[in-house]
Amino acid sequence: MLQLNNIVKSYKTGDFTQVALDKVSLNFRESEFVAILGQSGSGKTTLLNVVGGLDQYDSGELIINGQSTKHFQDSDWDAYRNNSVGFIFQSYNLISHLSIVDNVEMGMTLSGVSTSEKNKKAMEVLEKVGLKDHVHKKPNQLSGGQMQRVAIARALANNPDIILADEPTGALDSETSEQIMELIKTIAEDKLVIMVTHNPELAEQYADRIIKFSDGKAISDTNPLANQKATSNYTLKKTSMNFLTALKLSGKNIATKKWRTGLTAFASSIGIIGIALILSLSNGFDKQISSYETGAMSSFPITISQSAMNIDLAERGVVAGTDLPSYPTEKKLYPYDPTANSIVHNNVLTTEYLAYLNKIDPTLIDGISYTRTVNMNMLKSDGVKATTVDKGSITFSSYPSKQGAATGSYLEQYYDVLEGNFPTKKTDLVLIVDEHNRLTDASMSALGLNYDVDSINFTDLIGYELKLVMNNDYYKRNGELFSVNGTASNLIDMYNSDKAASLNIVGVIRAQEGSTMSTLSAGIAYSDDLATYFIEDAKNSDIVLAQQEADHNVLTGQLVSQDIAGSGTSGMASPGTLMDKGMANTLGASASSNTPTKAEVLASLGATEIPTSVSLYPIDFGAKESIIHYLDEWNTNLDTKDKVMYTDLAAIVTNVSGSIMDGITLVLVAFAAISLVVSLIMIAIITYISVMERTKEIGVLRALGARKKDITRVFNAETFIIGACSGVLGIGITYLLTFPVNAILYNLTDLKNVSQLDPVHAITLGVISVVLTMLGGFIPAKMAAKKDPVTALRSE
């Protein structure tokens, strides 16, 4: 059954070689109770370890069931220990954090016996050793004798052929020793039991055969067995611990040190918390910024206005900036000529340019809006008389109508309705009041409202009617010249005629508080549709056609300047007469004389398609770049005076928000990276400590047939649990932290819900936490696997 032929085993410590087994040759029967006697250090334990496959012999041959073990692989030895051998130790070597049943079942667990069968067998052997009533206790709740019974039950559980007992009664009193010996004797009835003892009386009393050892040699044998011919063959069932078993084992171990595990998990979760917070913050900030970007986009369009701009050439990089330092401490005044570095530029919008704008890639823009100031013939009436509204006294302009706008209309975005509604129809007008709900006396007078009052109710203004009259109805021809069709002081007939279109004030609106884009002046605003409708009609009106032919003003008879400003195309040029005062002054200064140009006269008759300003609303910052590039392309190879300049207010905002975000992220990432490294090291240390603590357990598991891999698995399971705990803890804490963080940020910045933990991030971080902790524990786990089972079992 078991044969040892010239087995030699020696230990090297430094230069010294200790021969623990010196050519031992022994034969054992299938069932007998063999006692090994001998002095301490004579090699008894070594013999058991070699026979049990815990330790490998140097030379000779060990034959088990007729099979030589010479070519056994590690896995064969593991299977052999698991299937064929049961160990009983002097110090019991039970796994303290497992219950009695779990201890007994461990060998079967390793060889993959099903739960029910495992349990059945465990109960059987526990009953056999007389511990039926203690099965759910932990080892430390038992007496020494009881613990040894558990160890015997464990050794028997997998029904091995050989039981190896190393001084099983060494730690027990004589009475308990005898009980244990009785138990072992019954086992030996159908198994080979090899028991080491230094108690010759017990050996005499119970053993069938006594072998004496001295200096690594068997010096006597009371019942030797002649050499047998190797016959039978047998197969071993390979062992393997699945990860679930490893998890359970480590979980139970961890459960005995909850505080340590909890604190470890918490400490290592700090890295996760750091990263999760960064992600949640940058996630939130990203959302804030992109919503701010789209906000900034619509509030800061690229605007091209028919107005004079002071262009600082130094700022635009056209000329060199000043040599003077900024914020000098010298108390000196430096005179300088601003015009040397800047020019007054007059944007001349031509039909070609507008056509160019219209050809812009539509995917880049959210919309284009036009503001027009068209000299429409507008009449007011008090019921008795009607007069033309004096547009020099009140601002009359179109509100920008965004074409293709995705978001709400310009007015809806930047204005509050105080009374009535926003305009919906072409003929709807709105009255814009200033921030104090005021309108100038002149404006009110121009509208025909009585301004000699304290206030007027908004409700009285809703529905207020003005009438629009087309050029052909408004003017009549008198030979060469044209005049207004009616007496200047009363146009009531024209007002009442069905040719006058009724326009109504449908709402009183005011710029939203703090809005930078509410650029319309107090007065009346009409739709761009109305403006273009009038323009289209005016272009073909008699007076305009006549004016185009004439070299004089068809209303006054005065000569007009033929000098057409800008590119000189078909009379479409700056409607100087219609601009606000500041602009008119600039134009006045730049115009050669006080005589209006023909183009200006035409414009005053409403025959101009040129808007006073065009605003382009980019879709995003990238699109803005392309738009700017597109606008710059127009200007290439043009003289400075012909260039069309644009204003882009959003540029400044972008740079600031972007760099702040980068800075914050960088700092936080550095912080989190450090804490992650720290937790990695900490996990390595903790796992190393755990390996140290569980050395005995490693030995026991190896004795029960666990492979090196399984040991690694046990510690990987441990770090897995810690990693999972720290991940869950980290994410949980981060989630809870988002509330105070958001509250603080809201207080500081008025930004709501900045910190938002993305579930995908949370799961990713949980996985990262597990992977990293397992990485941290990987080397200690490998170390554990490499531990020599014999040394591990010897450790205390």
Q: Which is nearer to ligand ADP, 11 or 746 (CB)?
A: 11
Q: Which is nearer to ligand ADP, 36 or 517 (CB)?
A: 36
- Between 45 and 597, name the residue whose CB sits nearer to Mg ion: 45
Smallest separation (angstroms) from ligand ADP to the CB of 10: 8
Closer to ligand ADP by CB, 37 or 573: give it.
Answer: 37
Q: How far apart are CA 127 and CA 121, in angstroms?
A: 10
d(CA 478, CA 40): 142
d(CA 333, CA 341): 18
Binding partner of residue 739 among Mg ion, ligand ADP, none, CB cut-off 5 to 8 Å per kind: none
Instruction: Kindly provide the residue ranges of all beta strands, DSSP E only, lying in 701-750, ordered along the sequence.
Output: none
Which residues make up the interface to Mg ion (CB under 5 A)? 45
Which partner from the list Mg ion, ligand ADP, none does 82 bind, CB cut-off 5 to 8 Å by kind? none
DSSP string, 442-490: HHHHHHT---SSS---HHHHTT-EEEEE-HHHHEEEETTEEEESSBTTB
Choosing among Mg ion, ligand ADP, none, which partner's interface includes residue 46 (Cβ < 5 to 8 Å by kind)? ligand ADP
Given the complex with ligand ADP, which of 87 and 526 has the nearer CB atom? 87
8 Å CB contact between 165 and 196: yes
Of 44 and 467, nearer to ligand ADP (C-beta) is: 44
DSSP string covering 281-322: HHHHHHHHHHHHHHHHHHHS-EEEESSEEEEETTTTTSS---
* CB closer to ligand ADP out of 16 and 334: 16
Residue 86 touches which of ligand ADP, Mg ion, none (Cβ within 5-8 Å per kind): none
Please state the closest distance from residue 44 (CB atom) to ligand ADP, in A: 4
Phi, psi (rounded to 5 degrees) for 710: -65, -35
The least distance separating ligand ADP from the CB of residue 165, rounded to whole angstroms, comes to: 12
CA distances to 95, 118, 153, 241, 390 from 157, rounded to whole Å, are 16, 9, 6, 17, 111
Residues that bind ligand ADP (CB under 6 A): 11, 13, 18, 20, 38, 40-46
Please report how close the Cβ of residue 44 comes to Mg ion at its closest, in angstroms.
Answer: 5
Among 602, 632, 631, 445, CA closest to 535: 602
Minimum distance of ligand ADP from residue 41's CB (angstroms)? 4
- Give whichever of 44 and 694 is closer to ligand ADP, judged by the CB atom: 44
As measured in angstroms, the least distance from the Cβ of 45 to Mg ion is: 3
Residue 745, Cβ density class (10 Å: 0-12 exposed, 13-18 middle, ≥19 buried): buried
Q: In what order do the strands lie in the sheet with 32-38?
A: 85-88, 162-166, 192-196, 32-38, 209-214, 217-221
Q: How far is the CB of 200 from ligand ADP (least distance, A)?
A: 14
Q: How far is CA 349 from CA 103, 610, 611, in A?
A: 92, 7, 8
| 199: phi then psi, degrees, rounded to nearest 5 | -110, 95
The option from ligand ADP, Mg ion, none interacting with 42 (CB < 5 to 8 A, set by class) reads: ligand ADP
What, of Mg ion, ligand ADP, none, does residue 43 touch, CB below 5 to 8 Å by kind? Answer: ligand ADP
CA atoms of 95 and 138, how far apart (whole Å):
9
Instruction: Choose from ligand ADP, Mg ion, none: what does 243 bind? Cβ within 5-8 Å by kind.
Output: none
- Contact partner at residue 20 from Mg ion, ligand ADP, none, CB < 5 to 8 Å by partner kind: ligand ADP
Q: CB of residue 666 vs ligand ADP: minimum separation in angstroms?
A: 54
Q: Judging by beta carbons within 10 Å of its beta carbon (0-12, 13-18, 19+), is residue 478 exposed, middle or buried?
A: exposed
- What does 41 interact with, of ligand ADP, Mg ion, none (CB < 5 to 8 A by kind)? ligand ADP
How near is the Cβ of 119 to Mg ion at its closest, in Å?
A: 34
**Could you tell me if 385 and 492 are in contact, meaning their C-beta atoms sit under 8 angstroms apart?**
yes
Q: For residues 163 and 765, which CB has a smaller minimum distance to ligand ADP in the complex?
A: 163
